[in-house]
C-alpha cells in the first residue's frame, strides 16, 4: 500500500460523484508533468488524501490501477478538451471534520520531502495534481484525522488499532484509518530494522565518531532521510552512518555533516566552547566508502544547517 495527496480544488465534487481521479497526460505543448505521470504508480488498495482549499476533506481507496480515458466530466481544464488522460476508479470517504492543514502545519512540515512536496514551506498547497505521501507523513495524517473524527468511549477504554473509539454512523473511517496506519508503521519498522542490521557490520558495530560499542546506544542514522529516499535507498546501508545516540541527534538534526572525504563539518549553531560537551572536535572524520559518498554529500547540502 502506498499513499498519495491529490490536489483537486474545483474538480473535487465532480470526481467524487463519479468515483474517480482523472488527470491530463500532456499539456497543450505536449509536455508531461510528474504530477500527471504519477497516476501510473497507483495500484488497487492505495490510499489517497483529498486536498481542497486548504483542507484534507476525504480519504479514498483506489479500486483500480490507471487506464487511459478522455475527460469524463464537464469542468474545463486548460488544454483538456478532447485530450486523453489517466483515470483511476476510487472509493471516496468524506471526513465529517476536515483536517485544516494550516492548523497542524508545524507537525506536518518536518515530514515533507524536499522534492515533490504537496505543500510549500508556508503551508499552501503546490500546484499540480498527484503527489507522493511517505509513510511517516501518512502516519501523522492518520493520527490527526483520527483525533478529529474518532472519539473516545467511556472508562471501559475499548482498544483498537487507532486507540479508543465509539461507534458512529461514520464508522467506515475507523477500519480505513486503522489499516492505513498499521501498514505504514509496519513498513517503516521493517525497513529500519533491515537498514540497521546491514549497517552494523559496515561500521564494525561501533559509533563512527566516538567508537562506543554498546549496541543499545547505537543508532542507524540516515544521511538521506526516509521522507526523501526511494524504496531502495531506505534499506541501502550506504545511506547511513552508525552513530551513538548523542552524535545521531546532532547528525539527524543537521548540526553536523560530513563531506565527500568524510571530514566533519560542525554547524555554527554549536558554540566552540560546547564542542567538548557534545563530544566533538574539528578534526573528526568518518571512514566513508565510495557508496557513502553521494549520500554524505546529499546530507551536507540539504540537511546540514551551517
Domains of the chain in sequence order: 3-133 (3.10.590.10), 203-302 (no CATH)
Give the model confidence (pLDDT) of 15-38 as tens digits. Answer: 999 999 999 998 878 889 999 999
pLDDT score of 243 more than 50: yes
pTM for the model: 0.84
When pLDDT is averaged across residues 94-107 and rounded to a whole number, the result is: 94
The reported pLDDT for the residue numbered 168 is: 44
Comparison of pLDDT for 229 and 173, the residue scoring more: 229
Instruction: Report the first-to-last Cα separation within the chain, whole angstroms.
Output: 37
The pLDDT confidence band at residue 304, using thresholds 50, 70 and 90, is very high
pLDDT score of 162 more than 70: no
- Distances 158 to 119, 168, 175, 231 between C-alpha atoms, Å: 36, 14, 14, 36
The residues near 83 (Cβ < 8 Å, ≥ 6 apart) are 24, 25, 26, 70, 71
Rounded Cα–Cα distance for residues 66 and 69 (Å): 9
The position carrying cell 497507483 is 42
When pLDDT is averaged across residues 70-85 and rounded to a whole number, the result is: 69
pLDDT score of 165 more than 70: no
CB atoms within 10 A of CB 251: 25
Whole-number percent of the chain with pLDDT over 90: 76
When pLDDT is averaged across residues 184-204 and rounded to a whole number, the result is: 93
Cell of residue 220, nine digits: 542507524
Average pLDDT, the chain: 89
CB atoms within 10 A of CB 271: 8
Q: 41 and 2 in contact (C-beta within 8 Å)? A: yes
Give the model confidence (pLDDT) of 244-300 as tens digits. Answer: 999 999 999 999 999 988 999 999 999 999 999 999 998 999 988 889 999 999 999
The pLDDT confidence band at residue 81, using thresholds 50, 70 and 90, is low
3-state secondary structure labels for all residues of the chain: CCEEEEECHHHHHHHHHHCEEEEECCCCCCCCCHHHHHHHHCCCCCEEEEEECCEEEEEEEECCCCEEEECCCCCCCCCCCCCEEEEEEEEEEEEEEEEEHHHHHHHHHHHCCCCCCCECCCCCECCCCEEEECHHHHHHHHHHHHHHHCCCCCCCCCCCCCCCCCCCCCCCHHHHHHHHHHHHHHHHHHHHHHHHHHHHHHCCCCCCCCCCCCHHHEEEEECCCHHHCCCCHHHCHHHEEEEEHHHHHHHHCCCEEECCCCEEEECCCCCHHHCCCCCCCCCCECCCCCCCHHHHHHHHHHCCCC
Amino acid at each position: 500500500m502506498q499513499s498519495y495527496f491529490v490536489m483537486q480544488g474545483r474538480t473535487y465534487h465532480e470526481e467524487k460523484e463519479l468515483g474517480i481521479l482523472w488527470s491530463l497526460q500532456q499539456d497543450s505543448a505536449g509536455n508531461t508533468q510528474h504530477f500527471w505521470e504519477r497516476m501510473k504508480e497507483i495500484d488497487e488498495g492505495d490510499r489517497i488524501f483529498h486536498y481542497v482549499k486548504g483542507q484534507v476533506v476525504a480519504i479514498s481507496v483506489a479500486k483500480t490501477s490507471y487506464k487511459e480515458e478522455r475527460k469524463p466530466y464537464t469542468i474545463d481544464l486548460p488544454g483538456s478538451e478532447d485530450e486523453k488522460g489517466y483515470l483511476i476508479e476510487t472509493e471516496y470517504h468524506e471526513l465529517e471534520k476536515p483536517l485544516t492543514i494550516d492548523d497542524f502545519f508545524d507537525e506536518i512540515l518536518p515530514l515533507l520531502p524536499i522534492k515533490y512536496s504537496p505543500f510549500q514551506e508556508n503551508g499552501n498547497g503546490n500546484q499540480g495534481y498527484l503527489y507522493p505521501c511517505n509513510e511517516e507523513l501518512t502516519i501523522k495524517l492518520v493520527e490527526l484525522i483520527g483525533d478529529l473524527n474518532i472519539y473516545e468511549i467511556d472508562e471501559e477504554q475499548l482498544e483498537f488499532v487507532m486507540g479508543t473509539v465509539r461507534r458512529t454512523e461514520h464508522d467506515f473511517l475507523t477500519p480505513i484509518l486503522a489499516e492505513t496506519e498499521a501498514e505504514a508503521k509496519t513498513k517503516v519498522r521493517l525497513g529500519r530494522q533491515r537498514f540497521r542490521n546491514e549497517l552494523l557490520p559496515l561500521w564494525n558495530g561501533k559509533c563512527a565518531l566516538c567508537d562506543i560499542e554498546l549496541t543499545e546506544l547505537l543508532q542507524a542514522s540516515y544521511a538521506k532521510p526516509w521522507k526523501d529516499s526511494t524504496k531502495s535507498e531506505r534499506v541501502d546501508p550506504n545511506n547511513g552512518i552508525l552513530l551513538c545516540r548523542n552524535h545521531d541527534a546532532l547528525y539527524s538534526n543537521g548540526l553536523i555533516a560530513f563531506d565527500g572525504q568524510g571530514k566533519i563539518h560542525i554547524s555554527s549553531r554549536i558554540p566552540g566552547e560546547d564542542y567538548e560537551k557534545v563530544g566533538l572536535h574539528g578534526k573528526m572524520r568518518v571512514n566513508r566508502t565510495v557508496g557513502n559518498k553521494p549520500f554524505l554529500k546529499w546530507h551536507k547540502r540539504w540537511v546540514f544547517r551551517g
